[in-house]
Amino acid sequence: MPDRLKAILLVCVAVTLFAGLDTSAKYLATRLSVPVSQIVWVRFLGQIFWMAVVLGPAGMPKLIKTKNLKLQLTRSTLMAATTLLNFVAVKYLRLDQTLSITFLTPLVVAALAVPLLGEHVGWHRVMAITVGFIGILIVVRPGYTRMEPAFVFAFGSMFAYSLLMIVTRKLSLFDPPLVTLFFGATVGAVAAAPFALADWTWFPSVEVWVLLLALGALGGGGHFLIIRAYTLAPVSAVTPFIYIELISMIALSYLVFGAVPDRWSLIGSMVIVASGLYLIHRERIAHRENLMAMEPIEEKR
């Protein structure tokens, strides 16, 4: 099987795992009354546990070696923030609503890349970002529907995740992916521990503990597959397939909660997805043009 096809399949599996992560978190918080702080803490502990199972005792000590501790701590803090805010949001909002807001991430990253990474912004990128925000206005519809306070948490999670993507891009120059995954889980577990222990509730139900343990596998497994996919194929080739998560999320929402997205959420999501795909298309064209511009230089050498 070609590497590009393998990468696409890995991304499809990864985003399905992410949909399962959010669905499980919402089910634990709403149906089983598990405190959000406890869900966040066990999610990070679970990721460390599954990494230890996969790598074994000999592989774990290698994960504490980083060439840029400051960036790792910054990324890990953002990871903890986006996880907490997202789990609070999914507790009160429909899963398709939170996912629609999450889909703004590539557009916000494109906008933030200008001041933070010094990247050039063209009118194509500005247009895609503008259309994406129009899509989110369709989903939220301020002034036409009651503005849920939980939307603030969803937007906060998305913004933290966008910053996390920027930092991850910088961090990839220093540390391997598994080190970054381990630091994110460890700092998240330490940060969430005081709040989780304060709210700790012991549940006799086996269902609760199975779902809690599954959170680490779903989250860590999804991130690992995404990283693996990016080593097999260019980012521009596989990124469009992250939008398959919308299908997985709608299906799980219906199967678990009997929830059906309204037409405005679907329309807004499609607008956001279209703007994101257009942005990825333009980035691919720009990359191809840069390579073509470099060819004469290489020939002279």
Q: Based on the structure, what is the number of domains in the chain? A: 1
Q: What is the pLDDT of residues 186-223, one digit of tens each?
A: 999 999 999 999 999 999 899 999 999 999 999 989 88
| Confidence bin at 301 (pLDDT 50/70/90) | very low
Our CA dihedral for 164, 166, 169, 170, rounded to 10 degrees, sits at -100
| Structural tokens at position 239 | 């990124």
For residue 142, the SS3 value is strand
Boundaries of domain holding 146: 3-300
Which residue, chain included where needed, has tokens 């990247």?
Answer: 119
Q: Which of 99-113, 199-213, 233-247 has the lowest mean pLDDT?
A: 233-247
Average pLDDT, the chain: 85
175 Cβ partners below 8 Å, 6+ apart?
Answer: 66, 67, 68, 72
299 vs 17 pLDDT, higher one: 17
Whether the CB-CB separation of 49 and 189 falls below 8 Å is answered with no
Reported as a pLDDT band with limits 50, 70 and 90, residue 300 is very low
Quick one: pLDDT at residue 299? Answer: 47
Give the mean pLDDT of 20-35.
96
Q: Where are the alpha helices (DSSP H) in the chain?
A: 3-30, 36-59, 69-92, 95-102, 105-117, 123-140, 150-171, 177-198, 206-232, 235-238, 245-257, 263-300
